Amino acid sequence: MARRRSVVRRAGAGRRIPAGVVLGIVLVIGALALIIARVSNSGGSDAALQTGDDAAAVAGRVATGPARASESFFQRIGRMWNASDRIDQLERENRELQAWRDLAERLAERNARYEALLRMPPDAFGEGADVEHSIAAQLVLDSGGPFTRTLVANAGADHGVRVGFIAVNENGLVGRVVSVGHRSSRILMLDDYNSRIPVMGEASRVRAVLAGQATRPPELITHPYQIQSPRLDFIVGAQNLREGERVITSGDGGLFPRGIPVGVARRQGDGSWRVALSAAQRPIDFVRILPYMGVERPEGDPVESEGPPASSSSSVAAIGRETMAPPPRAAAPTPPPSTQTAAQTPRPRPAPPQTPAATPPSPAEPAPAAQTAPAPAEPQE
């Protein structure tokens, strides 16, 4: 009897779920609830993350101090080791660069004359961004995880940083501020899986979307906006993109200012394009955070007598018209067929003061357009 009772007890004990497993299941359910709360965009999760970023930023700065110091120390040691070789190499490069500088000065002077002839506005860095009031910050944390590619900088709302500001370093674009704490801000990097940025080739003016791939170099998707606009047939697309061409932000969409260097286009073996990021040439340590709030939404009550028709809101059509070299018939524009929509009608321009502006440039030269027209003229009715 006693033996039977013990057997029963043992069998019952075997069926009982251990406390650790129960707790594990409960915590898994809690984790799922947290993820779902994040998906449903509850503000509490973001606020907690930003508060945690503030604390982690302080800890990260302290923790990386010795590493940074030792890194610079070993770099100095390494440079001393091969100092004479480096001097020889630098002298050689200096001689070559002097020749290149003479050539660049001549070309710059010539280019300036052409621009004066065409009355082109200067190709500004980050049009619309408040470069003078940029905020310098040091990066103290790197997400480094498999899912996201973000950085934490030690400047936050107390320093004037806001969500949407642009982070650049001395080489180019790093990313965009996506959350801000009091003393820290989190920057979504260009190679994050969720990063999509409108860019264009600096010389070819081919527009593309830069899509982050987490750990691999960002991929260029070269088909985007032109599909909807039949007037952009002059654009030949990705085949115009050149290997090694500089890629800059196009400003489309209004999230990024135009003209910030992003990287260099590289063609892959399978024909796809990727960008070697300029900002990744060396470890990113300090960043400048540029105030930029993008393009304001158009007001609900537009002025009817000014600006383009409401149906021509696609900036792509306008930009494409202005950026691409005009076809031969552009010298004597013919009225569009009546079946065209208002979006497809060309924006009228002021009469060029000089005849060379109307002549098409040589195909070998880059199209003169990346710059927007100085001011849109009154539409001809």
Partner 1 sequence: MTSFFSAAPSRRTLRLWGLVLAVASVILPALPLGPLFAQPPMPLAVLWAAYGWAAEDESGWRAPVALALLGLLHDQLAGGPYGLFVLIYLSAYLIGRVAAVLMSAPNLLSLWGGFIATALLTVVIVTIVERVLLPIAVGPYAEAAAITALLFPFVRPLYMSGAPSAWSQGARR
Which residues make up the interface to partner 1 (CB under 8 A)? Answer: 14, 18-21, 23-25, 27-28, 30-36, 38-39, 45, 48-49, 52-53, 56, 60, 63-64, 67, 139-148, 150-152, 186, 193-194, 213-215, 283-285
Residue with smaller CB distance to partner 1, 60 or 320: 60
Judged by beta carbon, residue 230 or residue 283, the one nearer partner 1 is: 283
Which residue's CB is nearer to partner 1, number 2 or number 21?
Answer: 21
Question: Burial letters for 71-87: b for 16+ Cβ neighbours within 10 Å, e otherwise?
Answer: eeeeeeeeeeeeeeeee
Nearer to partner 1, 38 or 101 (CB): 38
Rg of the chain's alpha carbons, rounded to an integer? 28
Shortest spacing between CB 151 and partner 1, in angstroms: 8
- Structure-token match 């949407």, residue found: 164
Provide the CA 181 distance to its chain's centre, in angstroms. Answer: 22
- Alpha helices (runs of H) in the chain, residue ranges in sequence order: 2-15, 19-39, 43-81, 83-118, 315-323
CB 368 to partner 1: min, Å:
39
Residue 3 Cβ, how far from partner 1 at the closest point, in Å?
17
Task: Pick between residue 57 and residue 206 the one whose CB is nearest to partner 1.
Answer: 57
Query: What H or E segment, with its residue span, contains residue 264?
Result: strand 261-267
Taking a C-beta distance cutoff of 8 angstroms, is the pair 316, 200 a contact?
A: no
**Minimum distance between the CB of residue 188 and partner 1, rounded to whole angstroms?**
8
- End-to-end Cα distance, the chain: 106
Which CB sits closer to partner 1, 21 or 99? Answer: 21
Bridging pattern class, strands 286-290 and 135-142 = antiparallel
Nearest approach, Cβ of residue 39 and partner 1 (Å): 5
At its nearest, how many Å lie between partner 1 and the CB of residue 218?
12
Q: What are the φ/ψ torsions at residue 257 (nearest 5 degrees)?
A: -70, 160
